């Protein structure tokens, strides 16, 4: 295919503005997906994406479209390589990577909602990449659509001509075919630097892992050609491999004879070791190595949580599972960690609470491991008193895990990251939002109008407070209309302390938490109450307590009960009953090893989730 007939573009937008639904219609118009395989948001193929109705991972797809250009004598075939991206802020690393693989981007704005915080963030990313931006209003079929008003917002935002703004409905398909034509007209064709086949340069913008075929890298070919059987080299990791297959996305992997300059596709590497393929690396021919292109910045995790196997024997299996997850999610990172009482485990870094939830859910579903997951936390920097015990005296250290957060007496100063937040919301909710910001220690900066009826608020607040369920609370005080974007800012001094939770007089390290000193009583009460509700009743009475600053500040007692695990099985299979009793025995053994109370895995998951408060 000559470059003139290739277009690479993405769709970017705030969450739920209709990207994947618009992509559905494009796939239909171009006959990319057979009618019988079509379903809503067909590009959202992960089970979790379908359940939650959101896109988590970017998804490339190759479409063919016949179009007669202004100077053409007949219709010609165009290859349209689309990358659908997620809109949730936790997954914006996906967006930034997708944008390096395209020349243009559809900026979709929901005409019932208007420009939102992530519209601005993704637009900035596209601008930084020098991409051609096509502004499009979505959901114009909806009775709630405010086309004129939102169009004005978009024109102001982009400083563009009114004619440049297109309109579509992903529901009815209106305007979608015109949009495809505009993509061909407005998005520049791919540039090619070198022509000969051996000067292969393929940018790795994503990858996934296949148990049989190893790592499959998603590439944008910037120059040269690649075939099955080629001997290739990762320019950065310097690892050699042979391509087992090359192909394009339709959207499932479809083998092709070769990929060449301008194409978006995949290469099957056969590599099964983790740590070799990384996003941002460049693939070249082994015999004609070229310099790597500029890659991607590794994103900095925002929240951390540690994961331990319930059974120490599962450690190796857990390590393997995390390695595999990392091979399908390059934003995820983990490191080995040992905590006296929880044994050996891993400290994991996430880009936000939703990212954390998705990864832990995948661990549970895809790998069938019994895990202990600690309360998520941001990182603090602690300056230890010179009188502090041990080797840390006088030092300044990062603390990732609440259970390693030192006792008050050892701390000289604690520093914590602040974030610069932007909120866009209808003006009538401003009062409620200001109260919420006050509750979350926000420092309100500039407040201005955004369009006719909305406000834009700049705020600085501790990252700790942003992670304390701020997103959900903002949604609820603004009836769902408030949107938010943020970036990590400076470090400031913090007034925080460690809150421990004790069950039957033993500290459960996974439940320890770093909280604002001002809120320590409320947080202790909340944690104890929640645990009382979700902890299964034991066979004996037990106390649940919250302890901080050297004293017990909250307490509950749970009465015990006698339990026969087989009592709910009427008659039935005696071997199954025996098995259950065996299991119970094993469970009891574990209880002894781990202390007096056996805490099931879902209790850790529930305690971890902020939304379940
Ligand atoms: N009325 C109407 N609803 C739409 C239209 N397009 C999408 N929706 C609805 O809007 C919701 C979000 O649609 P998606 O296509 O998943 O949005 P998205 O931008 O891909 O969402 P994320 O990928 O999670 O950011 C769904 O409930 C859709 O049914 C449209 O053109 N008209
Ligand atoms: Mg989507």
- 50 C-alpha to ligand 2 centroid (Å): 10
Q: State if residue 464 touches ligand 1 by the CB under 6 angstroms criterion.
A: no
Across 106-110, 201-205, 285-289, 559-563, least confident range: 559-563
The pLDDT of residue 595: 53
Report residue 525 CA to chain centroid gap: 31
Compute the C-alpha angle 190/84/111, nearest 5°.
110
pLDDT above 90: residue 111: yes
Q: Residues for the chain: how many in total?
A: 613
- Give yes or no for residue 574 having a pLDDT over 70: no
Of 48, 4, 35, residue with least CA distance to 325: 48
Query: Which pLDDT value is given to residue 571?
Result: 46
Average pLDDT, integer, range 120-149: 96
Span of 302-306, 532-536, 593-597 with lowest mean pLDDT = 593-597
**Dihedral sign from CA coordinates of 467, 472, 478, 481:** positive
Confidence class for position 580, pLDDT limits 50, 70, 90: low
The answer to whether the CB of 171 is under 6 A from ligand 1 is: yes
Query: What integer pLDDT is reported at residue 559 of this predicted model?
Result: 80
Tell me what pLDDT residue 613 has: 41
Nearest atom within ligand 1 for CA of residue 108: 19
Q: What is the pLDDT of residue 388?
A: 87
**Distance, CA of 290 to chain centre:** 32
Ligand in nearest proximity to the CA of 176: 1
Q: Is 170 in the pocket of ligand 1 (CB under 6 A)?
A: yes
Instruction: With residue 309 as reference, give the H or E element that holds it.
Output: strand 303-309
Is the confidence at residue 593, as pLDDT, over 50? no
Average pLDDT of span 306-328: 91
Please give the average per-residue pLDDT across 248-275, as a whole number. Answer: 94
Mean pLDDT (whole number) for 46-56: 94
283-287, 330-334, 418-422, 595-599: least confident range = 595-599
Q: What is the pTM of this model?
A: 0.89
The pLDDT tens digits of the residues spanning 487-538 come to 999 999 999 999 999 998 999 999 999 999 999 999 999 999 999 998 888 7
| Ligand 1 close to Cβ of residue 21 (< 6 A) | yes
State the pLDDT confidence band at 391, using cuts at 50, 70 and 90.
Answer: confident
Residue nearest to atom 14 of ligand 1 (CA): 18
Check if 95 has its Cβ closer than 6 Å to any atom of ligand 1. Answer: no
Cβ–Cβ under 8 Å, residues 298 and 309: no
* Confidence band of 315 (pLDDT split at 50, 70, 90): very high
Q: Which atom of ligand 1 is nearest to the CA of 85?
A: 23
In degrees and rounded to multiples of 5, residue 25 shows phi and psi of -65, -35
> In the beta sheet, which residues pair with residue 486?
421
What confidence score (pLDDT) does residue 588 get?
Answer: 47
Q: Is the CB of 102 under 6 A from ligand 1?
A: no
CB 442 less than 6 A from any atom of ligand 1: no
Q: Tell me how far the alpha carbon of residue 298 lies from the centroid of ligand 1, in angstroms.
A: 30
- Asked whether residue 585 carries a pLDDT value surpassing 70, the answer given is no
Establish whether residue 175 lines the binding site of ligand 1, counting it when its CB lies within 6 angstroms of any ligand atom. no
Mean pLDDT of the chain: 90
CA-proximal residue: ligand 1, atom 1 (nearest)? 142
- Check whether 22 has a pLDDT greater than 70: yes
Say whether pLDDT at 564 is over 90: no
Tell me the average pLDDT across 315-329: 91
Whether residue 14 has its Cβ less than 6 Å from ligand 1: no
Can you spell out the DSSP letters for 148-166?
A: HHHHHHHHHHHT--GGG-E
**DSSP secondary structure letters along 85-151:** ---SGGGHHHHHHHGGG-SEEEEEEETTT-S-HHHHHHHHHHHHTT-EEEEEEE-TTSTT--HHHHH
CA–CA separation, 274 and 429 (whole Å): 48
Residue 489 is predicted with a pLDDT of 95
57 CB less than 6 Å from ligand 1?
Answer: no
pLDDT at 438 over 50: yes
Nearest residue (by CA) to ligand 1, atom 11, is 16
Q: How far is the CA of 263 from the centre of ligand 2 (A)?
A: 23
- Measured distance CA(440)–CA(282) in Å, rounded: 43
Each residue's pLDDT tens digit, 220-260: 999 999 999 999 999 999 999 999 999 999 999 999 999 99
Classify burial at 8, counting beta carbons within 10 Å of its beta carbon; exposed 0-12, middle 13-18, buried 19 or more. buried
Task: Give the whole-angstrom CA distance, residue 333 versus residue 331.
Answer: 7
Quick check: 57 and 86 in contact, CB under 8 A? yes
Q: How far is CA 565 from the centre of its chain?
A: 39
Q: Whose CA is nearest to atom 12 of ligand 1?
A: 16
Q: Name the nearest CA neighbour of 298 among 96, 500, 156.
A: 96
Cα–Cα distance list, 159 to 115, 154, 162, 399 (Å): 14, 8, 9, 45
Reported as a single tens digit per residue, the pLDDT across 156-182 is 999 999 999 999 999 999 999 999 999
Confidence of residue 364 (pLDDT cuts 50, 70, 90): confident
Q: Are 110 and 138 in contact (CB under 8 A)?
A: yes
At residue 339, the pLDDT reads 75
497 close to ligand 1 (CB < 6 Angstrom): no
């Amino acid at each position: 295919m000559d470059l003139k007939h290739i277009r690479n573009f993405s769709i970017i937008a705030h969450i739920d503005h209709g990207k994947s639904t618009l992509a559905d219609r494009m796939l239909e118009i171009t006959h990319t997906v057979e009618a019988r395989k079509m379903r809503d948001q067909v590009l959202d193929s992960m089970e979790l994406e379908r359940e939650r109705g959101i896109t988590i991972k970017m998804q490339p797809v190759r479409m063919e479209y016949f179009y007669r250009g202004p100077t053409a004598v007949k219709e010609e075939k165009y290859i349209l390589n689309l990358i659908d991206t997620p809109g949730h802020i936790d997954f914006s690393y996906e967006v930034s990577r997708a944008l390096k693989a395209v020349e243009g981007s559809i900026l979709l704005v929901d005409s019932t909602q208007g420009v939102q915080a992530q519209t601005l963030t993704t637009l900035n990313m596209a601008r930084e990449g020098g991409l051609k931006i096509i502004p499009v209003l979505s959901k114009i079929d909806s009775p709630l659509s405010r086309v004129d008003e939102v169009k004005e917002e978009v024109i102001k935002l982009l400083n563009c001509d009114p004619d440049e703004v297109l309109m579509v409905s992903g529901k009815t398909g209106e305007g979608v075919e015109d949009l495809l034509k505009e993509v061909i007209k407005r998005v520049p064709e791919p540039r090619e630097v070198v022509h000969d086949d051996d000067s292969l340069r393929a940018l790795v913008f994503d990858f996934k892992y296949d148990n049989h075929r190893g790592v499959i890298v998603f590439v944008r070919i910037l120059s040269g050609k690649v075939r099955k059987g080629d001997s290739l080299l990762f320019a950065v990791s310097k690892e050699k491999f042979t391509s087992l297959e090359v192909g394009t996305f339709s959207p499932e992997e479809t083998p092709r004879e070769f990929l060449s300059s301008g194409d978006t596709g995949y290469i099957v590497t056969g590599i099964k070791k983790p740590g070799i393929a990384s996003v941002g690396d460049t693939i070249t021919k082994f015999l004609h190595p070229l310099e790597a292109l500029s890659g991607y910045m590794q994103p900095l995790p925002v929240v951390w949580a540690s994961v331990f196997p319930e059974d120490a024997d599962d450690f190796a299996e857990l390590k393997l599972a995390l390695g595999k997850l990392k091979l399908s999610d390059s934003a995820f990172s983990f490191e080995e960690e040992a905590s006296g009482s929880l044994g050996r485990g891993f400290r994991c870094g996430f880009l936000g609470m939703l990212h954390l939830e998705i990864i832990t859910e995948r661990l549970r579903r895809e790998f069938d491991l019994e895990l202990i997951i600690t309360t998520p936390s941001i990182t603090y920097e602690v300056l230890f008193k010179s009188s502090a015990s041990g080797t840390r005296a006088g030092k300044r250290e990062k603390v990732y895990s609440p259970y390693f957060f030192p006792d008050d007496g050892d701390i000289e100063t604690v520093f914590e990251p602040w974030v610069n937040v932007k909120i866009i919301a209808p003006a009538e909710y401003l009062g409620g939002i200001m109260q919420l910001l006050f509750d979350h220690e926000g420092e309100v900066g500039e407040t201005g109008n955004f369009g006719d009826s909305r406000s834009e608020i700049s705020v600085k607040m501790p990252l700790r407070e942003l992670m304390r369920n701020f997103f959900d609370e903002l949604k609820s005080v603004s009836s769902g209309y408030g949107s938010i974007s943020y970036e990590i800012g400076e470090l400031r001094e913090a007034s925080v302390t460690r809150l421990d939770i004790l069950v039957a007089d033993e500290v459960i390290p996974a439940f320890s938490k770093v909280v604002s000193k001002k809120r320590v009583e409320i947080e202790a009460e909340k944690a104890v109450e929640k645990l009382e509700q979700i902890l299964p009743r034991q066979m004996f009475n037990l106390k649940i307590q919250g302890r901080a600053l050297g004293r017990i500040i909250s307490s509950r007692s749970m009465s015990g009960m006698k339990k026969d695990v087989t009592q709910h099985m009427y008659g039935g299979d005696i071997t199954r009953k025996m098995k259950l009793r065996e299991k119970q025995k094993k469970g009891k053994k574990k209880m002894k090893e781990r202390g007096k109370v056996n805490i099931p895995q879902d209790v850790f998951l529930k305690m971890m989730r902020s939304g379940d408060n």
